[in-house]
Amino acid sequence: MNVSEYIARLKNSPSFMKNVTEWRVLPEREAQYAEFPKGLDGRIPDTLAQRGILRPYTHQRRAWDLALEKRDFVVVTPTASGKTLCYNVPVLDAILKDASSRALYIFPTKALSSDQVAELYSMIEAMGVEIKAYTYDGDTPASARTAIRQAGHVVVTNPDMLHQGILPHHAKWVKLFENLRYVVIDEIHTYRGVFGSNLANVLRRLKRICAFYGSDPTFICCSATIANPQELAERMLERHVELIAENGAPAGKRNVVFYNPPVINRQLGIRAGSIPETRDIAAGLLQAGVQHIVFAKARLTVEVLVRYLKDMVRDPLGNAGTVRGYRGGYLPTQRREIERELRAGRILSVISTNALELGIDIGQLDACVLCGYPGTIASTWQQAGRAGRRGSESLMIVVASSNPLDQYIINHPEYFFEQSPERALINPDNLYILLNHLKCAAYELPFQDGEGLEGAENVGELLEYLEEQNILRHVAGRYYWMAEEFPQAGINLRSASDQNFLIVDITDPKKHRVIGEMDRFTVPMLLHQYAIYMHEGRQYQVEKLDFEEKKGYVRRVDVGYYTDADLTTSLKVLDEFETVATSLLPRARGEVLMSSIVTLFKKIRFDTHENLGWGPVTLPELEMHTTACWWTLPDWLERDYERERLTNAMVGLAHLMRHIAPMFLMCAAQDIRVVYHVRDPYTGKPTLFLCDSTPGGIGLSERVFEMDRELFARAREMLAECPCPDGCPSCVGATVGEGGKGTLLEVLNRLLENP
């Protein structure tokens, strides 16, 4: 059955359609073409013509014109719109005209790097020219590295390798840095938060080294649709960047379906779970033979769905290769194999976290199912773009979970379709991040007196501080690196932790093998002792977690449940930056110490998802210095409401805020924490905190501090619209006691009506 027939079948299914809150059909779009630029090397149009590309799209032509004029630009068009040619063509043209020219490609993941270098190499082979394009990352053999440094015309890498393996050893890369014509930064929308703030500083170091060798490369950026691509690129590069947003590529007809699971307990407002509903929808696609991708927000959800769907397609020998999982934590060889199988069409269903959201070529997919709203409009469209990539009709189904943001989006489709995508936010001058990169920059090249790092503030003061700490030495007007350690090694660009744990399968006592990896902050939740760790739908029990060796030892089991852990967070105010006393609520912002600890885990049965019991978790507490904003409740609230009733209401508000705030900030729900203290030691009053989940903060809580009434007004709106009589998981959460919803609505009305 093809996807169009399957769509018709869904429309004729009353049991499916009664849960659909919106079915919107986005029409086909015709291509808009231009001509090849006159100055382009003739071999390029000839090669493209052999591939059926007789004319470029209008956005491609605009990109080539700007590149030939040596102007920096960012291209913002949807998935599968030919962005790759926007940078491959000018790069190849420059090298064909001058063999000494060099280009550096930066992709956020190794998978994307290898995918794009294969595309570039096939084009070079078709032209029959001597242009060398190589991937340079952690998997590149030592024997090949010298040849790449000397002869690589196009070096394809990722931010981590640029930071640790190229910039500190720039003396070995003289040919690259002396002749660097283009720097390509793809998927720039992924560089937000900590990762983006780190990359902006890596680019500061790159430009400093280029200036040292006498080159001034043109920067070409590509992005998915976000609200502020030009602003993000300019903040990242600290220079003017031209914007190309008019998409000339064609698109097939798209069906976007919003699906809200049915209410199964009207009194408690409980809906059917998003996981079983997603499973049933994916099962229908499997049975119809429609190749599709299922996106889930959490690793655990991916593994539960993989288990369900594999059980549906197992043959008598137990093989279920047509269903595969894909997420961070799988080993690189396993991920490459899954990508190849998808392209070849041998996989019918792949269940993934947002790891497959980026533009890796995974072939022709017809449908996309989202288990829960991804958190941002930009991410939703990016995931939707994985289906119908070749211009055919496609289907996207968003299955809402019971969290407040999902329920708001699913019941207000106009917000999703009419609102512009979210803004990406970075803060390169975060002191924690900037200081780390100043150390790296000083290691790479000494700083002269008065010299800065492009766009960075207070560099002189920070260099003096590093001298006082005996990290730098000031001699004859220069700051030299003098510490023994290699500074780049201690900085992880993507998170606050550089400590990954290996997951070791000890089922066979004679042959232990590594099956995956996990970052330090996720380990307490998923890899504590007695947890059921799931990998490609298989179950493993964690026998031992060794914090010293950073290894988790797991044994293969087959039990009818999985585990999920509870995380407890507390905050302590360290410093107050700013206070506003006269507004909706007295509010302040400052620095806090956030402590997180996992105390217990639950056993949850497959299929019914009922709780089978719990167990304790004994792991060390994790601490982090970050920034937060907080609101203290006015005295009249405590006077007018008994403590338990007020606490219930405020715990419900914290639950709402945790899901509402990411709608205003372009961030994932896990990028912030919201905590309510019944009596905070610092303020002496009931206090609601919202803080960044990253060391030093990246400005999320600061933006919330500036919003004042917006979050509270949206919370009241969502609360009032929820049809439940007295609070449910879709508004105040599952843990709020009786009367919590009514009290909270009353409190918010009084607060918002006060001047």
Region 183-201 average pLDDT: 89
Contacts of 269 (CB under 8 A, 6+ apart): 263, 722, 723, 724, 725, 727, 728, 729, 730, 731
Region 416-443 average pLDDT: 84
Element (H, E) at 159: helix 159-161
For 675-693, how does the pLDDT look when each residue is reduced to its tens digit (9 = 90+)?
999 999 999 999 999 998 8
pLDDT value for 581: 84
pLDDT value for 138: 76
Backbone angles phi, psi at 630, to 5 degrees: -145, 150
Strand ranges (E), 11-101: 20-26, 73-76
pLDDT value for 23: 96
Count CB-CB contacts under 10 A for residue 345: 11
pTM of the predicted structure, to 2 decimals? 0.79
Taking CA atoms, 539 is separated from 300, 477, 602, in Å, by: 11, 61, 16
pLDDT value for 736: 65
Taking CA atoms, 52 is separated from 46, 48, 49, 86, 611, in Å, by: 10, 7, 5, 17, 57
Give me the half-sphere count of Cα atoms (radius 13 Å) on the Cβ side of residue 338: 22
The CA distance from 696 to 496, in Å, is 10
Q: Annotate 477-509 with b (16+ C-beta within 10 A) or e (fewer).
A: eebebeeeeebbeebbbebbeeebbebbbeeee
pLDDT value for 564: 86
Region 621-644 average pLDDT: 88
For 551-593, how does the pLDDT look when each residue is reduced to its tens digit (9 = 90+)?
999 999 988 888 888 888 889 999 999 999 865 688 999 999 9
What SS3 class is residue 730? coil
Q: Answer whether 395's CB lies under 8 Å from 367's CB.
A: yes
Region 511-522 average pLDDT: 83
Query: For residue 620, is pLDDT > 90?
Result: no
What's the mean pLDDT when you consider all of the chain?
A: 87
Query: For residue 126, is pLDDT > 60?
Result: yes
Count CB-CB contacts under 10 A for residue 714: 19
pLDDT value for 487: 87
For 659-677, how does the pLDDT look when each residue is reduced to its tens digit (9 = 90+)?
888 877 766 677 888 999 9
pLDDT value for 438: 93
The CA distance from 167 to 444, in Å, is 7
For 339-398, how does the pLDDT look when each residue is reduced to its tens digit (9 = 90+)?
888 888 889 999 998 877 665 666 678 999 999 998 888 888 888 888 876 568 899 999
Contacts of 585 (CB under 8 A, 6+ apart): 631, 632, 633, 634, 712, 751
For 273-313, how does the pLDDT look when each residue is reduced to its tens digit (9 = 90+)?
899 999 999 999 999 999 999 999 888 899 999 999 998 88
Query: For residue 220, is pLDDT > 60?
Result: yes
The C-alpha angle 444, 449, 455, rounded to 5 degrees, equals 70
Q: Answer whether 372's CB lies under 8 Å from 659's CB.
A: no
Residue scoring higher pLDDT (287 or 405)? 287
Q: Answer whether 369's CB lies under 8 Å from 278's CB.
A: yes
Residue scoring higher pLDDT (309 or 726)? 309
Region 145-158 average pLDDT: 89
Altogether, the residues listed in the chain come to a count of 755
pLDDT value for 65: 96
Element (H, E) at 148: helix 142-151
Closest by CA position to 487, among listed 91, 45, 168, 78: 168
Taking CA atoms, 197 is separated from 39, 75, 230, 233, 423, in Å, by: 37, 20, 16, 12, 14
> For residue 324, what pLDDT band results from cuts at 50, 70 and 90?
very high
Query: For residue 480, is pLDDT > 70?
Result: yes
Closest by CA position to 693, among listed 597, 626, 599, 596: 626
Count CB-CB contacts under 10 A for residue 580: 16
Q: Answer whether 591's CB lies under 8 Å from 577's CB.
A: yes
Residue scoring higher pLDDT (319 or 411)? 411
Query: For residue 498, is pLDDT > 60?
Result: no
What SS3 class is residue 147? helix
> For residue 73, what pLDDT band results from cuts at 50, 70 and 90?
very high
Backbone angles phi, psi at 16, to 5 degrees: -80, -45
Q: Cα 738 from chain centroid?
A: 37
First to last CA, the chain: 61
> For residue 489, what pLDDT band results from cuts at 50, 70 and 90?
confident
> For residue 738, what pLDDT band results from cuts at 50, 70 and 90?
low
Pairing of strands 532-535, 538-546: antiparallel
Most confident of 58-72, 372-386, 562-576, 598-612: 58-72
Region 134-157 average pLDDT: 86
Closest by CA position to 263, among listed 416, 407, 408, 374: 407
